[in-house]
Structure formats: C-alpha cells, structure tokens
C-alpha cells in the first residue's frame, strides 16, 4: 500500500511537470529544440522564445527537485509509519495540535485590544493531548472499527454509513468528554470545575463537532486507506483544536 501511495503521489507531481512541458511545446514548434534551432522567426522573436525556453527549463528542474523531495519525504513517512505506527501517529498529532494552539493564540492576539504573550504551557498541553490521548485513542479505535466492519472497495456503502454513525454518535460524544477532562486535568482544574465546564460547553461543542466532523468522517472512512486515517484526522484536528483552544480559553478569561 505504501508503494502504491508513493507512486500515486509521484505520478501526480510529475504529471504537473508534464503539463508544463506540453504547454510550452504547444507554443514552440515540436521539431525544434532550444534557441539555436528556431529559424522561422526573426532575431527578436528568437531572443524572446529562447528566454522562455531557458526559463521553462529552469522551472522544470526546480519543479522536479521539489517533486523528488516531496516524494522522498512521503516515502520516508510511510516507511516510519509501517515500522512504528503508534509512535509516528502520536508524534504527528502532538506537533499538529501544539501548532494549532499557537495558531489559536495568534488569532486571540490579533483580535484583542490587550497585549498578550505567547503561552507556551498552553500549547504544550495541546501537544501532550495529541501525543498521549488523541492519536493513541484513534489508532486503536480505528483498528477496532475497521476490524469489525472491514473497508469496502465502493466508498459509499451501508458499511460506510454505519461506521460514520458509530464514529460520530457513539465515539465522538465519549471522546469529547475525555478532551474536557484531560485538558482540564493538565491545567490543574478540580473535578467540580471540569464538570461545570462540561455543563456549560458540552452541548455547544458537540453541535459544532458534528458540523465539521460528520462530513470529515465520511471522507475519511470512504476514501482514506486505513493506515492513513489518523493522519487525515490529525489534519482536520488542527482546525478543530483551534476552535477548542479559543473556546476553552475564552471561557477561562470570562471566569477570571
């Protein structure tokens, strides 16, 4: 599966280069190569065409280098994912969720009249949440879900629908409680404080969750290979974590 995914990515990237080459070749006669062989235009035109030819060659070299780098990075990631799936998913989630909180703080600073410093500890809590809870939870959860209801070749089947319902109306409500509890515990909140926050924010959070995660889960289950489900989830979770970061910390400011 890894080799197929890597080959597909490489093919897509290289096809972009092919389109660029074909686009230029449709402008310059196909049987002429380079500046010196363009004989049916005047000297000024040859200079212009030659300039474009050299520029296109440089662009193609640069694009090929980027494509090779991306392909190599993707291949390395998939090798690491095969060798240490839980570790790679956890580290990826920690980095993404930590970055999401930094993004949330940047939004707060941009929209606030007060001077605010970067709260590294707050971002660290989200990173720890991704590393310790979010990625491991979803790693084992999807193993169980795909084991009980194996993926189908057709993306839109009854199996897909059942898995989305299980994910969003059984798993998600439970996991959202864990999010509140885990982040609250890391912040040093008491059990009563966590319960109060759940009473105040749980319903609104779940309504927002379904607006984002129902369509995202359909895409994840219908189209993503099982090995990449958590990676896709982590990418969507970047935006969800910004929402959580802003909501939970806005409530903290109101309490203060």
The string of pLDDT tens digits covering residues 109-167 is 999 888 889 999 999 999 999 999 999 999 999 999 999 999 999 999 999 999 999 99
Hey, what are 11's tokens? 């093919």
Flag whether the pTM goes above 0.75: no
Tell me the three-class secondary structure of the chain, residue by residue: CHHHHHHHHHHHHHHHHHHHHHHHHCCCCCCCCCCCCCCCCCHHHHHHHHHHHHHHHHHHHHHHHHHHHHHHHHHHHHHHHHHCHHHHHHHHHHHHHHHHHHHHHHHHHHHCCCCCCCCHHHHHHHHHHHHHHHHHHHHHHHHHHHHHCCCCCCCCCHHHHHHHHHHHHHHHHHHHHHHHHHHHHHHCCCHHHHHHHHHHHHHHHHHHHHHHHHHHHHHHHHHCCHHHHHHHHHHHHHHHHHHHHHHHHHHHHHHC
How would residue 248 be classed by pLDDT, with cut points 50, 70 and 90?
confident
Above 80 in pLDDT, residue 47?
A: no
Q: What is the pLDDT of residue 22?
A: 44
Query: 12 versus 101: which is more confidently predicted?
Result: 101
Confidence of residue 58 (pLDDT cuts 50, 70, 90): confident
Whether 249 has a pLDDT exceeding 60, the answer reads yes
Question: What confidence category does residue 49 fall into, taking pLDDT thresholds of 50, 70 and 90?
Answer: very low
């Amino acid at each position: 599966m890894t080799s197929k995914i890597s080959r597909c990515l490489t093919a897509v990237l290289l096809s972009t280069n092919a389109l660029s080459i074909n686009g230029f070749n449709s402008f310059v006669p196909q049987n002429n190569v380079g500046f010196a062989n363009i004989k049916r235009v005047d000297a000024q035109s040859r200079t212009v065409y030659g300039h474009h030819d050299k520029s296109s060659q440089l662009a193609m070299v640069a694009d090929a280098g980027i494509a090779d780098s991306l392909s190599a990075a993707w291949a390395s990631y998939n090798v690491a994912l095969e060798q240490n799936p839980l570790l790679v998913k956890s580290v990826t989630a920690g980095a993404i969720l930590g970055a999401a909180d930094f993004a949330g703080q940047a939004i707060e600073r941009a929209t606030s009249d007060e001077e605010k410093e970067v709260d590294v500890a707050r971002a660290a809590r989200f990173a720890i949440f991704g590393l310790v809870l979010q990625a491991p939870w979803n790693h084992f959860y999807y193993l169980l879900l795909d084991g009980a209801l194996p993926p189908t070749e057709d993306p839109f089947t009854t199996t897909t629908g059942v898995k989305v319902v299980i994910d969003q109306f059984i798993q998600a409500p439970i996991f959202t409680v864990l999010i509140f509890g885990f982040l609250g515990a890391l912040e040093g909140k008491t059990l009563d404080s966590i319960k109060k926050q759940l009473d105040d924010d749980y319903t609104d959070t779940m309504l927002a969750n379904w607006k984002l995660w129902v369509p995202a889960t359909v895409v994840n289950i219908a189209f993503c290979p099982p090995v990449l489900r958590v990676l896709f989830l982590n990418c969507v979770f970047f935006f969800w974590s910004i929402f959580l970061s802003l909501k939970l910390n806005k409530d903290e400011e109101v309490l203060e």
